[in-house]
């Protein structure tokens, strides 16, 4: 984590609200993106992004090492996303489609989708992968997203998930196994 972020965290811990605003600006895109990958819809990703920063504001006193701010932040975001996934369980959730989003957001998202670089990815296959990931239990799914999608190390994932590295390995192995089974021949 950069020295500038560590400085902002330290200032914020001393009560500087401007420093908090700086941290929101620095991390809101990352938190939103992580939440979107976990929940696969804008409305819930937006809820996670907002609630994560509110919780960070109230709990910053619990962070002992400012250098670990990113793990602390992602842990709050991940836990909140897991809560949302568990609340979803057992009830039908109507996933909002992009047409329900405000105009500016729709435009920004559609621009992203039509980016020629991104069209190289087989969108249909990607959509199938996301659906398969959506069926994984919350903790296995989070482990897979943090490690294989976000590219975090097992040690970092363990810190964020609040579990031993061995559990990360095990969850990752099971999640990948299930994904391979569900996707079957699509992966060849």
By CB under 8 A, name the binding residues for another protein.
12-15, 17, 20-21, 24-25, 28-29, 32-34, 36-37, 42, 45-46, 49-50, 53-54, 57-62, 101-102, 104-105, 107-109, 111-113, 118, 121, 125-126, 129-130, 144, 148-149, 151, 154, 169, 172-173, 176, 179-180, 183, 187-188
C-beta of 61 vs 90, nearer to another protein: 61
CB of 49 to another protein, least distance (A): 6
Question: Do 130 and 45 form a contact (C-beta atoms < 8 A)?
Answer: no
CB of 167 to another protein, least distance (A): 14
Contact 173, 184 (CB under 8 A): no
Residue 33 tokens, joined: 């993106």
**Structure tokens belonging to residue 125:** 């296959």
CB 143 within 8 A of CB 157: yes
Q: Give the nearer residue to another protein in terms of CB position, either 91 or 132.
A: 132
Which is nearest to 26 in space by CA: 55, 58, 3?
A: 3
Q: Which is nearer to another protein, 46 or 67 (by Cβ)?
A: 46
Q: How far is the CB of 90 from another protein (least distance, A)?
A: 26
For residues 26 and 12, the answer to whether their CB atoms sit within 8 Å is no
Q: Please, which residue, 7 or 118, has the CB nearer to another protein? A: 118
Contact 39, 45 (CB under 8 A): yes
Work out how close the CB of 143 gets to another protein at its nearest, in angstroms, rounded to a whole number: 11
Give the total residue count for the chain: 188
């Amino acid at each position: 984590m950069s020295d500038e972020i560590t400085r902002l965290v330290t200032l914020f811990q001393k009560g500087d609200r401007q420093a908090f605003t700086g941290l929101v600006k620095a991390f809101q895109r990352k938190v939103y993106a992580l939440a979107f990958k976990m929940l696969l819809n804008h409305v819930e990703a937006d809820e996670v992004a907002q609630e994560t920063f509110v919780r960070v504001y109230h709990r910053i006193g619990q962070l002992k090492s400012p250098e670990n701010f990113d793990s602390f932040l992602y842990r709050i975001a991940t836990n909140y996303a897991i809560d949302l996934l568990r609340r979803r369980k057992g009830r039908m959730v109507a996933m909002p489609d992009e047409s329900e989003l405000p105009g500016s957001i729709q435009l920004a998202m559609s621009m992203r989708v039509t980016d020629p670089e991104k069209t190289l990815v087989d969108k249909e296959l990607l959509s199938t992968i996301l659906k398969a990931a959506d069926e994984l239990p919350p903790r296995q799914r989070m482990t897979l997203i943090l490690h294989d999608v976000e590219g975090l190390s097992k040690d970092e994932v363990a810190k964020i998930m609040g579990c031993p590295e061995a559990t990360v390995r095990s969850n990752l192995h099971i999640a990948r196994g299930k994904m391979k089974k569900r996707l079957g021949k699509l992966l060849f």
